[in-house]
Structure 1
């Protein structure tokens, strides 16, 4: 009878542990202590967004709690000491929440506890010593928290009994690895990586005979790996990477550890030869020995490891034998190989043609910084799975094979620092996934192929120190994806710099130096607002330095030396506050040298070789500029003087007439509520300082990547929001200009209204820029969806409110996309950028990443601008294609709107800890479409189908059916807006019409 009762209890435990209650009970008489403990646990939670504990108040289960499983429930709070009263607990799993505070020592009372999982939280303090009282503990997982201090010696009592898994990785633990861990006769996994453990690895660990996983990486361990560790014949994974270990690896390691699948020894100080017995561990799939001091040859029989997926021997002192690189041929047997890294060694010889027989699963082929000679084998074109090819810093000669254009998946091509000759193959234009192309320091000749312009994801291009000639193709320099560097210095390029240079609006580094480029500096260069380093030295540029370059205030290094430039040095260089070096030497510049800003420091400027300069600070030693000589006028004939005076008088008279006419005309023109270019009210730094109570922290209402937003009262009666730019933050200047440009061209009831801007100097002489908006009294959508600790009394948004807000936001984006003179991409749509006015009408704000799409109208390229480098937008909301090419698009906004829509109705952030390993909010909702959508909705929305006062068994069936149909349509809109492929996404106009139709259905049925 006892056996049957125990079996039934076990089945009940298993079933209820995986049920939606997240609590399991054993068949014991009702106990009020357990209920009180659960309610105490609930009270300590600041946030239970899933509503998982909503039913605990009324629970009267006749039994004792045996399991508490609340994994990935988005809980925020602390673990109460009352948990120690749940004395029948056998399993606690609170993994992947945001629990804070210390681990209660009262858990030590739970003598029946077998499993304790608190990983992926924010717990701090020390590991409680009295956990050792949980004498039946088998699984202890405390990894990825903020635990500190030493590992308590009392835990040895757990280890000596039944403990199977012990994980404390990714904390801040200190001290040495306890030797008593060697008493763990039942241990199979020991994870202690990513802490601050010091000292040697205890030899006693070699006594854990059942150990399969030993992870000690990312610590400060010293000494050698104890020989006893090699006696752990059951070991499957050994990872001691990123320590300060030294010594040699036993030559028989492959025989000692035959079941080994992963061996990670990288980033230590190991020496000696690579053990030739490694292939005897036939299950090895990861072999990482990089960043050490291994010597000798690569074992020829490593190719016998048929399961090998990753092998890295980089940054060692390995050499080749008499047969050169023929050992690479052996890896043709490794049919699962993905990464092959032998870079930064001392290999000599030619790359064998047999390398083409490597598996098509190979993604990385890294052989850089060796002494490789010969040609690049043409057969390499067969490795069509290759993504990274790194052969840099060798002695490779010959030409780049034309067939390299067949490597359609290639994203990184590094061939720099060789002796490669011939032309750059035009077939490279077929490698449309290419992100980085570096061919510098070779002997390449001929033209730059215009076909490289087909690589529309290219972020960096370096062709310096070659023998290239011809002009710079506009197709290449016009690639808007180029964001890191465009460098073609030290060649023989000719002709003018194409106007399309302005299309590189995200570029950070441009080096055109030491060529034979001619013509004037194009004014379109002013659109490269992210430029930090610009060198045009050693060319034949002429004319003056364009006034339009005043926009490049983010420049740190500017070199225009050794050209034929004329005219005056622009005064606007005084305002380039981050400029570290300015070289204008050896030109034909003239006139007065400015005296402020960078011109105060003679060590940071160079102006020698310009004969007609004058003035400047005294240290420059230039002659004083001459005052205009009035004697010459006295010598002029009286007739000429009379004519000059008459003409001057007529010009002044004409100007007066025009001014009077315009003033009279403007006086009769009706006023408008919307500010125009002439109608923005002027506001000073002092006025904004006064309006915000000296930018008081109490008036701070938001912070972003480029600045802070303050509440203020302008002129004593106008509530405003003042966005103050942090000009020290990279991209802040560009964000300011982009927002100004966007907001002066658009007006819509669902867009935030700008009152004015301020570009001035603060009281200590620092540049100050701010934008002033109407204050939105109800804050941001972010605050309503995810209230902070001081906003817990905030009411929840109703279903109707959320739908109205979604439609308002859709109207705004649809207007930007399809009803502006030039289509505008917002670029950063998220809940914090959707504000709510006093009537809860949504208004989209923050146009710091906005971009005008030139292709949408006949707008000239010089008028288009973007605002950031690299990835645009916020992680979680940014479209996946932005990570590949960085190009803004209308479909990118559609993707962000989808995230916003799904988040509004599920209450789940796209960056929630539950989303990992490719699992996203999109996939979460898409999967739920085939089941019950009610389970994934924000619980506060269920009042529509579960009215207050009605029991669980008396729901409104008709409302529930209609509700689920309409919610399903909303979710379907969100999913269709979020497809990975751009051409599969619903456009904004279609999405808006669908949402309006759903709202009409809700209104029709009184929801």
Structure 2
């Protein structure tokens, strides 16, 4: 009986506990569904209140007309509708960050980079225990102090942070990437970084870390615990002391080691050879002394070696020839001596070699001067090389710059130099070259600067020099004689020089003040022509000269018209050479090819020692219309600035290594490829997942926003003329960017006619904003049906437009891309939503497809304007999420 009573008591107690737990969970879930959602909304509104300037109106959607999960830059979890990501990158926002951001407790990602935020980072961010990625680079933030134990990615570069290295950083034990570059941090680096065991990337570049003391680099030993470390960037600081041997204990996976622009002394430790996975080693602009260790040859994977501006002495070790993958070597401005080892010729991938300003002697090895892969430049000036310049210099058919000035080279300039047809810069001054300028140099069709001064060259100045595209020519202090030409570079007194020992020169343009060249008559002073012909002989050359000048002026004007577009673009952005693009794309390797169209091929490239991934569009100039496409794209890209347009980095118009015209555009790389590859993946393509309904809606809004901008809000109305999924590119966050403006046209402000009114596309229409909307409508139908408009089922008058129009409204679910329906139904089942939610899904898809049909209507005036499309898509999105 007693045991029975005891059992009942235990049962009653467990029931009471169960009810208490249920009540607690129920009240907690209610709070999660109401109070905490409202907390997120209020926190976002306070965040908005501290934004003083919003020139792109990105926060205009942050109002009660939309659920906060639909606000620009805000991403919510599907289940709890809590804010999980705040991404407002490159929006020109000005203001400070509200402490209320700490109340967004479900945040996993905060990306505010490339804006003008200032002030301090509120310590409340430290409450976001779920935060995994924090990117605040390229702002004006300032006294950092965060404790974020679950953080994986922290980007703080290019701000105004002050003070010492935050000691709390070591508590973020899950960090994979830490970027604190471009700030004003100072003082020592703590040794507790050993706690960051998973760290892969550490960038402290361009701060004031260190104090020029002997123990500044002692922390390197503690990084041995970071066994996954791949990139260590400590350049541009005030680190002193010697480079410790403990550097050999760094991760065997280390690929990048950048220590340049510090005050590091001592020698390069022998142990450096243990880092056998290094790709980049840069110790330039320090106070390193001693020899280059023989162990350098163990770095078999090394591609870039930079040790310029140090006090390194001794000989270049022959073991360097073991590093056959070397592409760039910079050892200028040291005290290296002896001859260049012939073993360096084994480095058959070498693209740039800079050994200037050393004490190197002997002859220039044929094995080195004949490395045909050299393309960026070969700089051997200001040494003590002797003997002739080997004729194997003719192997450098791809070389852009060659400088061997300030040596003791003798003999004639080899005629083989004429084979280096893409040379832009050639400097041979300050040697003992003799004889005439070889006629083969007339093959240097890309030469811009030529310096042959301070030699013993003789003979006449060749006329062909005036026909080369020279911007600077120096022939001073030689022994030239005869008439100075007057064409090309010789017609610009500031572009060439013939001063010095050239005492037997005559003629030339008047500012030279040279004596007139004597008129040569045959022997016995007999005139070659009758007196009556002399006036004709005087007049005829004048007429011919005027005709030549007219022809030169005409061609120059045409050339300027052709190049003005790219020149304007190059003036607006950093310039880049063909050799740099060749190196960036691994010689335009097929493995780097990421897209191809009628007028161009697009390659993935890597600039600035791998720090900047770009997309390089190389024009197929052999295709008729490619030049016009390049011009159009340059014209348009100069004036476009919008978050949903592809970002141009720079342009290149030059000659390739065969002397042929080369044109390319360099864009921001979009890691998620094109919309086309997501809608129609090939068997070789592996996608992480299909695009959800919400993602497709977001992309549709992005593209419509881009059209609205170019149609109504930029300097001139622009028609894209080639809108299709392959020209819509997706970034890390699947934000859409419209690209490929090769067929774009400017529109007249009052007639709505383009600069090429006869250009037709789409359904045979002339260029217009309505024609762009037709293309957009077809793309919208393709996005939500999964069918290309070119599929074999669409023949004669049966098109994708008709296919959808006939299915509306009753058969919508039969034509929609099945992956959308399956994923949405799975979500509905998980959340136990009923038939009402399914009806909402059907209504949403019906509205989208109806919009696509309207935009692709046969008659232009029946199509919806891009601005109204944006509003309609926002309405559809809001209705579906309610």
TM class by shorter chain equals 0.5 to 0.7
Check the 8 A contact 2:164/2:188 in 1, yes or no. Answer: yes
Aligned counterparts of 1:239 and 1:164: Cα–Cα separation in 2: 22
1:155 counterpart residue number: 62
Task: Confirm or deny that 1:249 pairs with 2:249.
Answer: no
Distance 2:118 2:358 in 1: 46
> Does residue 337 of structure 1 match 2:229?
yes
Q: Please list the CA deviations of residues 439-492 of structure 1 after superposition, one character each: whole Å capped at 9, or x if unmatched.
A: 101111111122222212111100001111111122222222111110000001
8 Å CA contact 1:541–1:563 kept in 2: the answer is yes
Give the aligned partner of residue 400 of structure 1. Answer: 292
Hey, what's the Cα distance between the residues in 2 that align with 1:323 and 1:375? 15
Pair 1:302-2:94 in alignment: no
CA positional deviation for 1:202: 3.0
CA–CA separation in structure 2 for the residues paired with 1:464 and 1:470: 14
CA drift at 1:260: 2.0
In the TM superposition, residue 940 of structure 1 has moved relative to its aligned partner by 5.7
Aligned equivalents of 2:92, 2:274: Cα separation in 1: 46
8 A contact 2:319–2:343 mirrored in 1: yes
The 1-side partners of 2:338 and 2:61 are apart by 73
Contact 1:363 1:387 in 2 (8 A): yes
Q: CA deviation at 1:941?
A: 7.5
Shift of 1:612: 0.9
Cα gap change, 1:548/1:322 in structure 2, threshold over 3 Å: closer, same or farther? closer
Q: How does 1:611-630 map to 2 (within 5 A)?
A: 611-628=503-520
One of 63, 72, 87 as aligned partner of 1:191: 87
Q: Which residue, 352, 374, 377 being the options, matches 1:460? A: 352
How far 1:510 sits from its partner (Å)? 0.9
CA drift at 1:567: 0.5
1:814-856: per-residue Cα shift (whole Å, max 9, x none)? xxxxxxxxxxxxxx999985799xxxxxxxxxxxxxxxxxxxx
CA apart distance, 1:519: 1.3
1:512 to 360, 380, 404: 404
Q: Conserved in 2, the CA contact under 8 Å of 1:165 and 1:187?
A: no
Aligned to 1:546: 438
Q: Secondary structure at the match of 1:221?
A: strand
Distance in 2, Cα, partners of 1:298 & 1:562: 51
Q: Please say if residues 373 and 397 of structure 1, whose CA atoms lie closer than 8 Å, have aligned partners that are also in contact.
A: yes
Match of 1:240 among 136, 148, 157: 136
- 3-state secondary structure, aligned to 1:541: strand
Residue deviations 1:317-336, cap 9 Å, x none? Answer: 11155533111011000011
Match of 1:433 among 325, 329, 339: 325
The structural deviation recorded for 1:409 is 1.1
Q: Give the CA deviation at 1:189.
A: 0.9
Give the Cα separation in 1 of the matches to 2:73 and 2:368. Answer: 52
**Cα distance in 2 for residues equivalent to 1:408 and 1:481:** 18
Secondary structure of residue in 2 paired with 1:434: coil
Task: State the 1:533 CA deviation.
Answer: 1.4
1:623-669 per-residue CA deviation (whole Å, 9 max, x = no partner) reads: 22122255x6369xxxxx9xx9xxxxxxxxxxxxxxxxxxxxxxxxx
Match of 1:592 among 483, 505, 512: 483
Shift in Å at residue 915 of structure 1?
11
CA contact (8 A) 2:214 2:240 kept: no
Counterpart pick for 2:315 among 423, 426, 429: 423
User: What SS does the aligned partner of 1:469 have?
Assistant: strand
Offset at residue 300 of structure 1 (A): 1.4
Label 1:387 to 1:165 Cα distance change in 2 as closer, same or farther (>3 A).
farther
Q: 1:634 to 1:875 in 2, by over 3 A?
A: closer
Rounded Cα–Cα distance in structure 1 between residues aligned with 2:225 and 2:350: 34
The 3 A distance-change label for structure 1 pair 629 and 835 is closer
Which residue of structure 2 lines up, in the alignment, with residue 470 of structure 1? Answer: 362
Tell me whether 1:413 sits opposite 2:413 in the alignment. Answer: no
Normalising by structure 1, we get a TM-score of 0.49
SS for the counterpart of 1:397 is: coil
Distance, in Å, in 1 between the alignment partners of 2:184 and 2:215 is: 22
Gaps of 5+ in 1: 1-133, 138-146, 170-183, 636-640, 645-684, 708-728, 733-779, 786-827, 837-863, 877-897, 900-907, 918-934, 949-1007
C-alpha separation in 1, matches of 2:394 and 2:597: 36
Contact 2:114–2:139 (8 Å) recurs in 1: yes
Aligned to 2:591: none
After TM superposition, the structure 1 = structure 2 runs for residues 19-58 of structure 1, keeping only pairs within 5 Å, are none
Separation in 1 of the partners of 2:198 and 2:251? 12
1:866 is the counterpart of 2:761:
no
Cα separation, partners in 2 of 1:444 and 1:213, compared to 1, 3 Å: same
| Counterpart check, 1:483 vs 2:378 | no
Q: Measured at CA, do residues 296 and 495 of structure 1 come closer, stay the same or move farther in structure 2, by a change above 3 Å?
A: same
Q: Distance in 2 between matches of 1:540 and 1:204?
A: 74
Query: How far did 1:503 drift?
Result: 1.8
How far, CA to CA, are the matches of 2:337 and 2:409 in structure 1? 17
* Counterpart in the other structure of 2:713: none
What is aligned with 2:120? 224
5 Å-filtered alignment, 1:975-994, equals: none
Counterparts of 1:631-780 in structure 2, within 5 Å, are: 633=524
| DSSP 3-state at the match of 1:269 | coil
> How far 1:937 sits from its partner (Å)?
12
**Any conservation in 2 of the 1:239–1:265 contact (CA below 8 Å)?**
yes
Please give the per-residue CA displacement for 1:337-379, whole angstroms capped at 9, x wherever unaligned. Answer: 0110111111111111111111111111111111111111111
- Ranges in structure 2 where 5+ consecutive residues have no aligned partner: 1-40, 45-53, 529-549, 568-574, 579-595, 602-616, 626-655, 668-683, 686-723, 734-784, 799-882
- Say whether the 8 Å CA contact 2:290–2:314 is kept in structure 1: yes
Q: Counterparts of 1:492 and 1:313 in 2: how far apart (Å)?
A: 39
> Do 2:308 and 2:330's aligned partners in 1 also have CA atoms closer than 8 Å?
yes
Aligned to 1:167: 73
Secondary structure of 1:373's counterpart equals coil
Corresponding residue for residue 749 of structure 1: none
2:62 touches 2:71 (CA, 8 Å); kept in 1?
no
Asked if 2 retains the 8 angstrom alpha-carbon contact of 1:185 and 1:208, the reply is no
Whole-angstrom CA distance in 2 between matches of 1:258 and 1:403: 40
Report the equivalent of 2:417. 525
Distance 1:830 1:317, change over 3 A: closer
Contact 2:445–2:659 under 8 Å retained in 1 = no
Q: Which of 190, 198, 208 is the equivalent residue of 2:104?
A: 208
Name the residue aligned to 1:535.
Answer: 427
Contact kept? 1:412, 1:436, Cα under 8 Å: yes
Question: Structure 1 residue 312: deviation in Å?
Answer: 0.9
CA-CA distance at 1:232 after TM superposition: 3.1
> Secondary structure at 2:392's aligned position in 1?
helix
Deviation at 1:511, TM superposition (A): 0.7
